[in-house]
Structure 1
Amino acid sequence: MIRFEKVVKRFGARTVLDGLDLRVAPGERVTLIGPSGSGKTTILRLLMTLERVSEGCIHLAGRPYSHMPKGPGGTLVPADDRYLRTARRRVGMVFQQFNLFPHMSVLDNVVEAPVHVSGIDRAEAEAHARELLDLVGLEAHQEAHPTRLSGGEQQRVAIARALAMRPEVLLLDEVTSALDPELAAGVLDVLRDVARSTDITMLCVTHEMGFAREVSDRVLMFDHGRVLESGPPEQILDAPEHDRTRSFLRAVL
């Protein structure tokens, strides 16, 4: 579903991703762990097309994503904005901050993109939105405005909003970092339900090792823009091979 081929990302003289090769299978749940600045969130931002690769290429669902074919021979060139707008509809993201529209109801926040970006009939979009709000435990709050909700409830709305576009890939960037432990637990329960009830591919950046253990098929340890080790959660979290992984886990567990 996701393929990074020798991807380099630089910000000025600083290299954040250094020749990254990464493959995520359809339906696989992969968690990225590692210290701040190791490149984890940059991977998500590249997949959301919020950043462009410096070198290398990203493929999504078997097609070029960061690049597009051009000319009779189909030579790959950096994707233009039009190509990216179409390609990134396959990807949904839940950010650390909720970024909801405060002047809209919960239902309208979830319906906005399917109607105005994907052109879905409003009645169909609303029916799907209600199903998603039920999934995240907020069907009773569909007419409320975000300012009347707790932080955990707002983040659950943000999850429903991302799923409303029917993405093939869901990206999660430290989605509980702005929440207190009790609210964070509720959000993580919702994401567990999403993982159990859908076949969506998930790529998650988190410091919640319990969540990583329960939901992930694979955990990747990052440091200085490279994957230090990769494996099932019980291997990486219980018996890591790399000293850097062991020291990181001692700090977060």
Structure 2
Amino acid sequence: MKIALFIPCYIDQFYPNVGIATLQLLEKLGCDVTFPLEQTCCGQPMANSGFASLGKGCDTNFVKNFAGFDYIVAPSGSCVLHVKEHLHDDKNPDEATKIRNTVYELTEFLTDILKVENLNASFPYKVGLHNSCHGQRGLNLSSMTERMLPEFSKAETLLKMVKGIELKRPKRNDECCGFGGTFCVFEEAVSVKMGKDRISQHEANDVDYITGGDTSCLMHLEGILKRDGSKVKTIHIAEILNSVL
């Protein structure tokens, strides 16, 4: 299968190792991966701020870059959800529809499409998993405590395949970290308080790392951790799944 690698802005600009880990992991699992060089922002920041109409250029460019692939994979639940729900192109409506139906968040792709059952990975640390809101409630990557349904987590399923890892669940397993895209800019105090609350529950479990599927959420938590002088670090799940120590 031909896979297009979609790397969101935060990763491209600040955490390129996440993109590299994603590429390496997919190739290890036998995927033929292409990175379209002219890809840019998916348009989510404009939509979050109420300026969705200004994202038409992003939509057009996204369709231009990602048309013709079997699947599109990205290490970001929020960007994938945005594409799934909002991608539109008047000149290429059929291709836009196909892309909306074939774009996947990384853990979703590994569990639902590749159906991975074994990983050659090791990460001998105590790790807390942060479930980002877009992935959990938008992409159905994990169960929600407010719904009386069987418990599951695609990320946890994959992490349990990693040798040496010790997963630690926070007391409130699906609480928001407070990032929320532009929310953290316009409501800074509330955002920071939510982040501190989220971190305190992971620190209570004495974790070495906090991981998740959205670099944006991890960046928010990382900033708070560093300002507080915490020993806890953040790491994207792709880096753990690709890690051999």
Is the structural similarity TM-score above 0.5?
no
Q: For the pair shown, which has the larger CA radius of gyration, 1 or 2?
A: 1
Whichever structure has more strand as a proportion of its residues is 1
Whichever structure has more helix as a proportion of its residues is 2
TM-score, normalisation: structure 1: 0.31
> Which fold has the larger relative contact order, with Cα–Cα distance below 8 Å and residues 6 or more apart in sequence?
1
